[in-house]
Amino acid sequence: MKTIKAQHKAVYEPIGELVTYRAMPTQTVPMNLLDPFIFLNHHGWQEYQPHNNGLPFGPHPHRGFETVTFILQGDLTHKDSSGVVSVIKEGGVQWMTAGSGLIHAEVSSPEFKAQGGPLEILQLWVNLPAKFKMTEPKYVGLQKADIPVAELDNGKVAAHVVAGDWNGVKGPFEPLTDIHLSFMYFKEGGKYTTQVPKGQNVFLYIVKGEIKINGDFASIHHLVEFNHDGQIIEMKATADAIILFGYATPFNEPFFAYGPFVMNTKEEVMQAYEDMKNGKFGNEEELM
Ligand code: MN
């Protein structure tokens, strides 16, 4: 059994009218505590009124890592400096490898802005190891129908498989490193037991509801930190619940993050700002 070391409450930090809970980093969660899972913002749940301004994430750069965005409700339009425009709806996932760098905007569709509606979006940042930090940028957006579901415990648990192998169901995204990632819907009483290989870091965040994990209760807005002891994780939902769950081999590399850049050293981050100034990431105006 893997024991729980700590539970960390996400910090409420709204961005304008966008409800936002930041699960990591926080005061108790250094950015690379769960290396290579480094950042998580939980937007919503909330209801937008008709004629709203949508999401506030206009054009901005990234370099050195990947953003994985789970659209649980609402929609998300991604536009980037390579010319991609992609609208992903409820149940879909966007996986963007920033690599050497690009500029993107993450906004709501014209329909969502006109009609409003419920919104809940999670954005996770997954680090890239030094050898892939300057890889070519890549974006893949998949709708709900393209993401396979592993039905477990007689349908009481549905694992939406994003990356890696889950009970024989393979995720459609192919990360550059061995990232396992899924988002799971539990009905009250639903159970799931899994084994995480030794030496891997576990990332587990409660999006909704309450769930018993190896005997301890964990509830909405909590990030669960495990000890590196056993390998078995047993989950049992004590209410309808949604969790984000993953594991990966840590890189154990030097880490330096500032603003939208995540590199190995301060010099590399300074270089990113220099490259940004010199227009190497592309043109912001085209994405306005
Ligand atoms: Mn971004």
**Sign of the C-alpha dihedral, residues 157, 162, 164, 169?**
positive
Going from the Cα of 220 to the center of ligand 1, the distance in angstroms, rounded, reads 24
Q: Give domain status of residue 279, yes or no.
A: no
User: How far, in Å, from the CA of 137 to the mean position of ligand 1?
Assistant: 13
Residue 154 CA to ligand 1 centre (angstroms): 38
CA of 190 to the centre of ligand 1 (A): 34
Domain with 244 in it: 4-274
Using the mean position of ligand 1's atoms as its centre, give its distance from the Cα of residue 264 in Å: 19
Task: Report the number of distinct structural domains present in the chain.
Answer: 1
288 CA → ligand 1 middle, Å: 14
Dihedral, 20, 21, 24, 25 alpha carbons, nearest 10:
70
Domain-embedded: residue 140: yes
Going from the Cα of 22 to the center of ligand 1, the distance in angstroms, rounded, reads 15
Q: For residue 93, what is the domain's CATH number?
A: 2.60.120.10
Distance (Å) from CA 157 to ligand 1 centroid: 31
* pLDDT in the model for residue 282: 84
For residue 283, being part of any structural domain is answered with no
**What residues contact residue 246 under an 8 Å CB cut-off, 6+ apart?**
37, 163, 164, 179, 180, 181, 182, 202, 203, 204
Q: How far is the CA of 60 from the centre of ligand 1 (A)?
A: 6
From the list 8, 221, 183, the residue with the least C-alpha distance to 95 is 183
Check: CB of residue 258 under 8 Å from CB of residue 41.
no
What distance in angstroms lies between residue 80's CA and the mean position of ligand 1's atoms?
10
CB-count burial class (<10 Å; 0-12, 13-18, 19+) for 84: middle
Is pTM beyond 0.85 here? Answer: yes
Residue 33 lies in a domain: yes
Distance 103 CA to ligand 1 centre (A): 8
281 belongs to a structural domain: no
Distance 115 CA to ligand 1 centre (A): 24
From residue 147, alpha-carbon distances to 132, 141, 172, 183, 201 in Å are: 25, 10, 7, 10, 24
pLDDT for 287 equals: 77
Give domain status of residue 280, yes or no: no
> How far does residue 89's CA lie from ligand 1's centre (Å)?
17
Instruction: Please indicate, yes or no, if residue 128 is contained in any of the structural domains.
Output: yes
Short-list 112, 123, 79, 113, CA closest to 288: 79
HSE-CB of 38 using CA atoms within 13 angstroms = 25
Residue 23 lies in a domain: yes
Give start and end residues of each alpha helix (H) in 32-141. 110-115
**How far away, in angstroms, is 212 Cα from ligand 1 center?**
33
Per-position pLDDT tens, the chain of length 288: 999 999 999 999 999 999 999 999 999 999 999 999 999 999 999 999 999 999 999 999 999 999 999 999 999 999 999 889 999 999 999 999 999 999 999 999 999 999 999 999 999 999 999 999 999 999 999 999 999 999 999 999 999 999 999 888 999 999 999 999 999 999 999 999 999 999 999 999 999 999 999 999 999 999 999 999 999 999 999 999 999 999 999 999 999 999 999 999 999 999 999 999 999 998 777 777
Report the separation in Å between the CA atom of 132 and the middle of ligand 1, taken as the mean of its atom positions: 18
Distance 106 CA to ligand 1 centre (A): 7
Residue 19 alpha carbon to ligand 1 centre in Å: 17
